[in-house]
Amino acid sequence: MRKVLILNGSHSEIPLILAAKRLGFFVITTGNAVDLPGHRLADQYEYQDFSDHEAIFRLAEAHDVSSICSCANDAGILSAAYAAEKLALRGHDGYQLTKKLHLKNSFKILAREVGIRTAHSYEASSQKEAELILDNVDLPVLVKPVDAGGGSKGISVLTSRVSATDRVHHAFSSSKSKRVLIEEYIEGSHHSCSMFLVGGRVINFYSDDEHGVYNPLKVTFSVGPATNIDVVSSTLINWAETLSRKFSLVDGVLHFQYIYNRDGPCVIEVTRRCSGDIYSTPVSLALGFDWAEWLVRAESGLDCTRMPRRHQRGIFGRFCILAPSNGVIESISISADLKNFCEYEILQVLRPGDLVTDHENQKVAVIVLNFKNDLDRTSITRQMQRLVHIRMTD
């Protein structure tokens, strides 16, 4: 039986786990959080830190897996590429190329090589070096770790030099390699576009608008299609295909996060892994086929030439419910008004009685949305925070 190693078992990996089982794989999950819901859906769970490249290589080798599937974290795609390369498994770009694509500093070099517009930045490897750079640039700027893994961890906007020391320290504490970027702040609206490459060409894509609840840099609500996609799609596809030709990218997803303003799109992040918080569900609904299944196919090195070609239809999205504070969840209620605007389904991550220790990042639940029209989409976007109420106790 074919075995696949999936490098985490959070709610974000559940679509991958289920898709792999439908494809006939014996699914092994790993990660150092033993109580995650995806582990219970797998055929086998093995405790290991998915960010430890060597440990993941040894684990994959010991279980004689036929493929490795990354998780919704950049540390996972790096480990997957490393182990796959050492085991000569298909489905991943080479380890060095994967690092260059997913580390924020090196991606900017690749972007400039192929003409992708991205923000200008300076790299620092010490607190003192970062503060020296900040003394010589105009504010506002973004301060970000080069390798936080996803979810905008460690990223902040610096608008005053008074808070520079704290913001730089925050970025360094989130960086495994202890390197940060001081990046120009680009004004504009936030979006993403997930493209699927087959033979170096974009076969399908899904776009959306991105919103943050507590922090505009942390995406908690997204809905597609992106409001500007008709204007930018040809540019994004050209950038993706140019990048693919230049570096001979393997078949699979290429996800751009971008800012849009009067100068056009500006790419701020790129990934070659599944996006988090069951992102594949609205993509599947909009395209009419199982997006997660094709992610697993690609990372398993299976033939993707028969992937259906579809245009994005409908208005779908997903909203991550966050607690208003740390503490114990007493109750969760979703306003009846939400039903008047859209159909929805809920993936419950936490439940009453569960402890929240990081309320700006821990997901309580994820709602998948299906809007009837643009008017409902706009109305819900403006009201979303008041339509879900969570009561907390100390």
User: What is the domain extent for residue 67?
Assistant: 3-93
277 pLDDT more than 60? yes
Quick one: CA torsion of 186, 190, 194, 199, rounded to 10 degrees? -30
- What letter represents residue 45's amino acid? Y
pLDDT digits (tens, 9 = 90+) for 123-171: 888 888 888 888 888 888 888 887 765 556 678 887 877 777 788 888 8
Task: Tell me the average pLDDT across 241-268.
Answer: 96
Same domain for 138 and 163: yes
Highest mean pLDDT among 161-165, 171-175, 284-288, 362-366: 284-288
Same domain for 197 and 178: no
Peptide bond into 145 cis (omega under 30): no
Higher pLDDT, 362 or 340: 362
Per-residue confidence (pLDDT) for residue 358, from 0 to 100: 86
Per-residue confidence (pLDDT) for residue 155, from 0 to 100: 81
Q: Distances in Å between the alpha carbon of 319 and those of 15, 82, 129, 138, 219?
A: 16, 33, 38, 35, 9
Q: Listing from the earlier edge strand, what are the strands of the sheet with 180-184?
A: 121-124, 180-184, 141-145, 156-158
Assigned domain for 113 exists = no
Same domain for 174 and 130: yes
SS3 370: strand
- What letter represents residue 60's amino acid? A
Per-residue confidence (pLDDT) for residue 65, from 0 to 100: 98
Reported as type and span, the H/E element at residue 141 is strand 141-145
Highest mean pLDDT among 140-149, 265-274, 374-383: 265-274
Least confident of 111-120, 173-182, 267-276: 173-182
Same domain for 210 and 154: no
Same domain for 292 and 385: yes
Show which of 142, 158, 184 is a domain's final residue. 184
pLDDT digits (tens, 9 = 90+) for 217-243: 778 889 999 999 999 999 999 999 999
Same domain for 301 and 268: yes
Per-residue confidence (pLDDT) for residue 214, from 0 to 100: 67
Assigned domain for 102 exists = no
Distance CA(342)–CA(316), nearest Å, equals: 10
Tally of domains in the chain = 3
Per-residue confidence (pLDDT) for residue 148, from 0 to 100: 62
Higher pLDDT, 7 or 214: 7
Contact 81, 95 (CB under 8 A): yes
Phi, psi of 335, deg, nearest 5:
-60, 140
Distance CA(86)–CA(89), nearest Å, equals: 8
78 pLDDT more than 60? yes
Assigned domain for 108 exists = no
Contact 317, 342 (CB under 8 A): no
Helices (H), the chain: 14-22, 37-41, 53-62, 74-87, 95-102, 104-114, 127-134, 164-173, 229-247, 280-287, 291-299, 337-341, 374-387
